[in-house]
Amino acid sequence: MIHLNKLTPALAAAATVGVLTISPSPVAAPPSPQDLNPAPPDLYTCKPLGAGTICTGSIHEVKVAEPQTELVCGTGADAFVIHDNGVEDADFTRWYDADGNLVRRVKHEVWTHAYWSNPLTGKAVEYTQRQKTTTELTLPGDLDSAVETVVGENVYTDPATHKKVMHSVGRTVFGPDGLVSESGQQPFIDAFENGDMSVFDPICAALS
């Protein structure tokens, strides 16, 4: 039971008619992307989170015979550039601090119906890929201070033999000055950081 004598006069008056009207708290307007540093791409939707801001977005993209110019198999007239095909579904999240500076971003991606192909013969090597990329900015808002950690698995299978011809799995960390650490099987690191392009020989053989 409400004892009116214990209420302030204004509340007592409201209680006598059985209704107490409370004004709703104002809802903070979504932050303007232009106020964030760096501003997120148009695919993101942003909203307040605590003292900062969170932005989320997603993509669904289809790749059809995109040349991978850094991946060349064979020599002379038989040489060919590997083409990439597949469907990418990815979710993105960004966190900004109270000053509007980016402090962290995460990308989750999954590739389906994916394969590398030889445009000269039409042969293909199928692959699956699941990956999480986390970027931490040691200096908020400064992408040059980013530390990027990638975990996931990428498996290439010869459709003729059903054997794995390349397997990438584990964890890599890149800092502002390049590769910091790696673990697991990392053929792409072997190729593009250590210069051992022979890791792609089994794929080239399957595509030839």
In this predicted model, what pLDDT tens digit does every residue of 19-54 receive, in sequence order? Answer: 444 455 555 555 677 799 999 999 999 999 999 999
Cβ(173)–Cβ(180) under 8 Å?
yes
Write the pLDDT tens digit of every residue in 169-203.
Answer: 999 999 999 999 999 999 999 999 999 999 999 99
pLDDT for the residue numbered 54: 98
Q: Which two tokens stand for residue 1?
A: 């039971």
Residue 63 pLDDT greater than 90, yes or no: yes
Domain that includes residue 19, residue range: 4-207
Provide the number of structural domains found in the chain.
1
Q: What is the pTM of this model?
A: 0.82
The mean pLDDT value for 53-70 works out to: 98
The mean pLDDT value for 95-111 works out to: 98
Write the pLDDT tens digit of every residue in 118-175.
Answer: 999 999 999 999 999 999 999 999 999 999 999 999 999 999 999 999 999 999 999 9
pLDDT for the residue numbered 28: 55
User: Mean pLDDT across the chain, nearest whole number?
Assistant: 89
Determine the Cα–Cα distance for residues 205 and 174; give it in Å rounded to an integer: 31
Determine the Cα–Cα distance for residues 42 and 55; give it in Å rounded to an integer: 11
- Number of helices (H), then strands (E), belonging to the chain: the values are 3, 8
pLDDT for the residue numbered 24: 53
pLDDT for the residue numbered 163: 95
Residue 17 pLDDT greater than 50, yes or no: no
Determine the Cα–Cα distance for residues 191 and 82; give it in Å rounded to an integer: 15
pLDDT for the residue numbered 34: 78
